[in-house]
């Protein structure tokens, strides 16, 4: 009865959206492409219904309950195919149909279609609740060596959160109805988080969990270079809470529950940072805005840094062609700020600031101790 009162193209689009979310076979994928190309209106309807489904997942529980109650007379059996003949209105249709959604805004009509189709394709209302608990957005971001990118997340319709990824960085983003999650597996990134008290923003890196509502902060977790094996969190604006994260576990929604913390959390304000590793979280220390932002302008800063670590940091951005074979040379300390694209200036300065010499060996150059 409900289907007879709605656009068959819209119903077909919603059915395809639900089926594609569950995964299509090779044969079904061909059918999907055929339906999409059969009429230009199909693509428009599909884009509209997928956007609506995302909004339904964000709907308050009471609105979803209202949608469900308005569809109590809808059929419960699975829709066999989205290519069914068009539904037509009949003279016997009750005049009261559709009154339940009056006064609820323009979203309710397409939202009702989304709710109905997901419930039917999922075979039960339990399937609908499960569907709403799944991420409304998932994306894996990655940069190659020497690459930086800025991405805007769709967590706010007018001003979404942004993330700037440094070189060789990998992170996964998942947005839910009640929270926003990021897993930084390698590299470093700057987050400018759109404020939403109802949906806290969690960043997991190594064994640390960073929780915010709206702020600007950076997180670094690398396996090479400066602070290798540790996680560094620094705050530019607002405040964040840092704690040791509970071990990853399968959550109710099928994802990793990264928003659980253990031990006492540490609160950071603007201009503060902490470093964490397997032994715990270190003390809160001050950090200058220039120091925390240097990598975003393509520069690397060293402060009494062992030469081996300095080279490893350069290697994150590009191949240096430099090697160190002497442990004594590896421990020599360097300082200063350098452009990652001007490695030659750093290399040429080494014999003038350290007791070393540059020895070519084919494709590589060794940094060796200067002979007396």
Task: Write down the pLDDT at residue 266.
Answer: 92
Task: Please state, in angstroms and rounded to a whole number, the distance separating the CA atoms of residues 70 and 5.
Answer: 13
Task: Write down the pLDDT at residue 120.
Answer: 55
Question: 212 is written with which tokens?
Answer: 């915010």
Q: What is the DSSP string of 180-225?
A: EEEEEEEEEEEEEPPP-TTS-EEEEETTEEEEESS-EEEEEE-SSS
Task: Write down the pLDDT at residue 95.
Answer: 36
Would you list the domain boundaries of the chain? 3-133, 137-290, 298-369
Max Cα distance, the chain (Å): 104
Looking at domain 298-369, does it have CATH number 2.40.50.100? no
Task: Please state, in angstroms and rounded to a whole number, the distance separating the CA atoms of residues 291 and 281.
Answer: 20
Contacts of 296-300 with C-beta under 8 Å, sequence gap 24+, read: 296/148, 296/164, 296/166, 296/190, 298/148, 298/339, 298/340, 298/341, 299/337, 299/338, 299/339, 299/340, 300/337, 300/338, 300/340
DSSP state of 242: E
Closest CA to 258 of 297, 302, 305, 206: 206
Task: Write down the pLDDT at residue 239.
Answer: 92
Q: CA–CA distance from 235 to each of 167, 173, 219, 243, 264 (Å)?
A: 20, 20, 9, 15, 19
Low-confidence residues in the chain, pLDDT < 50: 73-106, 123, 125-126, 250-258
- What spatial distance separates the first Cα and last Cα of the chain, rounded to whole Å? 95
Task: Write down the pLDDT at residue 17.
Answer: 78
Closest CA to 212 of 172, 242, 246, 245: 242
Task: Write down the pLDDT at residue 186.
Answer: 96
Query: What are the backbone dihedrals phi and psi of residue 261, each rounded to the nearest 5 degrees, phi first?
Result: -125, 160
Task: Please state, in angstroms and rounded to a whole number, the distance separating the CA atoms of residues 322 and 326.
Answer: 13
Q: CA–CA distance from 126 to each of 9, 51, 118, 174 (Å)?
A: 26, 22, 10, 22
Query: What are the backbone dihedrals phi and psi of residue 346, each rounded to the nearest 5 degrees, phi first?
Result: -65, -45
Strands 356-361 and 322-323, sheet pairing: unpaired
CATH number of 137-290: 2.60.120.1440
Task: Write down the pLDDT at residue 127.
Answer: 56
């Amino acid at each position: 009865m409900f289907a007879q009162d709605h656009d068959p193209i819209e119903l077909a689009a919603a059915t395809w959206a639900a089926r594609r979310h569950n995964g299509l076979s090779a044969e079904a994928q061909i059918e999907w492409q055929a339906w999409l190309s059969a009429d230009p209106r199909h693509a428009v309807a599909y884009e509209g219904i997928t956007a609506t489904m995302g909004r339904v997942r964000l709907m308050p529980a009471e609105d979803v309950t209202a949608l469900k109650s308005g569809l109590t007379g809808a059929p419960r059996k699975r829709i066999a195919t989205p290519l069914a003949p068009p539904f037509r209105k009949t003279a016997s249709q009750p005049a009261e149909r559709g009154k339940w959604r009056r006064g609820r805004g323009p979203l309710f009509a397409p939202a009702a279609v989304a709710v109905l189709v997901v419930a039917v394709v999922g075979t039960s209302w339990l399937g609908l609740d499960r569907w709403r608990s799944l991420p409304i957005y998932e994306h894996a971001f990655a940069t190659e060596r020497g690459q930086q990118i800025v991405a805007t997340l769709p967590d706010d319709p007018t001003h979404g959160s942004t993330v700037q990824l440094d070189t060789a960085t990998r992170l996964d983003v998942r947005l839910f109805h009640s929270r926003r999650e990021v897993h930084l597996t390698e590299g470093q990134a700057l987050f400018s988080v759109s404020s939403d008290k109802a949906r806290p923003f969690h960043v997991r890196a190594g064994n640390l969990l960073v929780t915010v509502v709206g702020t600007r902060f950076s997180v670094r977790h690398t396996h090479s270079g400066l602070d290798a094996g540790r996680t560094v969190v620094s705050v530019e604006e607002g405040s964040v809470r840092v704690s040791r994260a509970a071990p990853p576990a399968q959550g109710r929604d099928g994802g990793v529950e990264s928003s659980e913390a253990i031990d006492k959390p540490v609160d950071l304000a603007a201009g503060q940072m902490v470093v964490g590793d397997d032994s715990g979280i270190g003390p809160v220390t001050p950090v200058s805005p220039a120091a925390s932002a240097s990598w975003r302008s393509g520069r690397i800063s060293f402060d009494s840094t062992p030469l081996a670590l300095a080279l490893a940091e350069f290697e994150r951005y590009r191949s240096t062609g430099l090697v160190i074979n002497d442990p004594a040379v590896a421990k020599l300390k360097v300082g200063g700020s350098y452009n990652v694209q001007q490695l030659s200036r750093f290399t040429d300065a080494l014999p003038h600031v350290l007791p070393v010499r540059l020895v070519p060996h084919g494709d590589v150059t060794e940094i060796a101790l200067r002979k007396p």
